[in-house]
Chain A
Amino acid sequence: MKAILEYWLVLAQGLWVTIWTSVCIIVGAALSAVVLGALRLSDTPALRVASMLVIEAIRAPSALILLFWVFYALPLLPGMPRLSPLAAAILVLALDGGVYGAEIVRAGIEAVHRGQTDACRALGLSKLQSFTKIVLPQALSQIVPAFGSLARSMIKWTAIASFIGVHDVLYVANFVRGQTYETVTVFCLLAAFYWILNVLCGFAFRALEQVLPLNRALRVARVSVRVASKADASVGAAG
């Protein structure tokens, strides 16, 4: 254990890289998920088919082979950039999260009652207005919890970035293990790191759920009902 402590700085740096990568890919996935998910339900068949193809093409091979392809094979194609390991990892993992997220977004949008869009039309709102002001805010109440568990998996996905030389916490831990031969301690520490990150991510998403418009509205309604029934109870007691 003492031997490991000497490496605390490298370990902290590795942990930082993992955290930073996780934040980037989760945010990137959220953005691409909304776009892909909305396109998936577009009224234009061409857009619908195109987004479906993109989703299947990215999702079907695993993230790892895509990562190797983008890092090693992509630069060989004419006109394609050579990405740094970190950039390649963020790109691939964010896209991969985006296609899984797109399904979540799609399901969330479809769960919003049909009457809501009817009402939007009857009030003369444009498609974009009814999506951003009515459908998406309500769908978020379904999307955010599901996306939260996706985000928790995505933290684990960052582990594969070490294969192309990103100095994340797994890469660093392997290095420390080679130096100190304290395999059990290093890996228990590593597992604890990931587990804590995961739990924190869960907390963050639960906090986010609290501020969603529909959840807030329903919470207010529930509280007022409870206050009312309490008032009734006290009236009853007085009588």
Chain B
Amino acid sequence: MTWDWSFALKILPDLMAGVFYTVLVTLASSAIALTGGLLLAILESVSTAFGRAFVRFWLELARGVPALVLLYFAFYVLPEAGITLPAMPIGIAVLGIVYAAYSSEVYRGSLITIPVELRDACVALNLSPYVTWQRVLVPLMIKRSLPVLVNYVLGLFRETTVLFALGIPVLMGQAIVVADQSFRYLEPFTLASVIYLGMNLPFLFLLSRFKVKYA
């Protein structure tokens, strides 16, 4: 079988729809991941043994179990519990939660590198704990975590491919649908690979900017 340009052109709109959903899912999931991770990190820092155990449990789950298994679990078990949701929100939520666990580790790492003296200064200024977190600690945590977080968002973007397993029309899913309908595999998968590769470029650009800034 040889490369067929006209076929490649014909499937391009379908693949582009996949690109749209991929971007959508990535954005939504990373929003959950980045804010959720921050909240988990704060929870772990301020709370009691219970909060800490809760965060550790999520982290162990995300570390040890494939996202795909968690996706299937949510997809099949939620309806049994009487919650019927479309695949898309389930996929977004599961990936978001998994990566929230990862990013909480990143935030925690940058939180413990903030010097103790800085917290002492906040106490000395009689800042309330809320203001201390909101105006001093959280901005610093975010600033210090940013380069690593971009890396995790990149990882999340790459992992959105598995969402096709729930029938979500991400680029990967669209490529498979097109391939199965036409029994042509070369063009859809090659094009999809190239598009995925291209979609990495913004991330690589961001990362190189950080490298210049923080090196």
- Main SS of the interface on chain B? helix
Q: Which of A40-81 contact B (CB under 8 A)?
A: 56-57, 60-66, 68-69, 72-73, 76-77
CB neighbours (8 Å) of B189 from chain A are 65, 68-69, 72-73
CB neighbours (8 Å) of A19 from chain B are none
Give the residue of A73, A177, A199 whose beta carbon is less than 8 angstroms from that of B186. A73
Q: Which of A73-91 contact B (CB under 8 A)?
A: 73, 76-77
CB pair A65 B69 closer than 8 Å: no
Of B64, B165, B189, B197, the most chain A CB neighbours within 10 A belong to: B64
Give the residue of A60, A156, A163 whose beta carbon is less than 8 angstroms from that of B66. A156
- Main SS of the interface on chain A? helix
Q: How far is the CB of A127 from chain B (nearest CB, A)?
A: 27
- From known contacts A60-B196, A76-B186, A177-B76, infer whether A65 and B161 are also in contact, taking CB-CB under 8 Å: yes
Give the residue of A57, A60, A158, A194 whose beta carbon is less than 8 angstroms from that of B64. A194
Bound-complex Cα distance A64 to B157 (A): 12
A187 on interface, CB distance cutoff 8 Å? yes
Residue of A nearest to B79 (CB): A183
* Number of chain B interface residues as a range: 35 or more
- From known contacts A159-B66, A194-B64, infer whether A68 and B76 are also in contact, taking CB-CB under 8 Å: no
Interface string of B24-67 (1 = CB under 8 A from A): 00000000000000000000000000000000000011011111
Q: Which of B153-169 contact A (CB under 8 A)?
A: 158-159, 161-162, 165
Give the residue of B68, B165, B176, B197 whose beta carbon is less than 8 angstroms from that of A61. B197
CB pair A62 B196 closer than 8 Å: yes
CB pair A66 B193 closer than 8 Å: yes
A215 on interface, CB distance cutoff 8 Å? no
CB pair B176 A68 closer than 8 Å: yes
Bound-complex Cα distance A160 to B77 (A): 20
CB pair B68 A76 closer than 8 Å: no
CB pair A194 B76 closer than 8 Å: no
A231 on interface, CB distance cutoff 8 Å? no
Number of interface residues of A (CB under 8 A): 34
CB neighbours (8 Å) of A60 from chain B are 196-197, 200
A228 on interface, CB distance cutoff 8 Å? no
CB pair A191 B172 closer than 8 Å: no
Interface string of B68-99 (1 = CB under 8 A from A): 11101100110010000000000000000000
Interface string of B165-201 (1 = CB under 8 A from A): 1000000100110010000011001101100110010
Q: How far is the CB of B137 from chain A (nearest CB, A)?
A: 27
CB neighbours (8 Å) of B200 from chain A are 60-61
- From known contacts A64-B172, A160-B162, infer whether A187 and B190 are also in contact, taking CB-CB under 8 Å: no
Q: How far is the CB of A220 from chain B (nearest CB, A)?
A: 31
B1 on interface, CB distance cutoff 8 Å? yes
CB pair B69 A191 closer than 8 Å: yes
Bound-complex Cα distance A76 to B66 (A): 31
Q: How far is the CB of A104 from chain B (nearest CB, A)?
A: 13
Interface string of A150-180 (1 = CB under 8 A from B): 0010001111100100000010001001000
CB pair B64 A187 closer than 8 Å: no
Bound-complex Cα distance A8 to B204 (A): 46
Q: How far is the CB of B11 from chain A (nearest CB, A)?
A: 13
CB pair B159 A62 closer than 8 Å: yes
Q: Give 17 new A-B contacts, CB below 8 A, not counting A183-B73, A187-B76.
A: A61-B196, A62-B158, A63-B158, A65-B189, A65-B196, A68-B176, A68-B189, A156-B64, A156-B66, A159-B68, A170-B66, A174-B72, A187-B69, A191-B73, A194-B64, A195-B61, A198-B65
> Which A-B residue pairs are the 5 nearest by beta carbons?
A195-B64, A62-B158, A159-B66, A61-B196, A72-B185
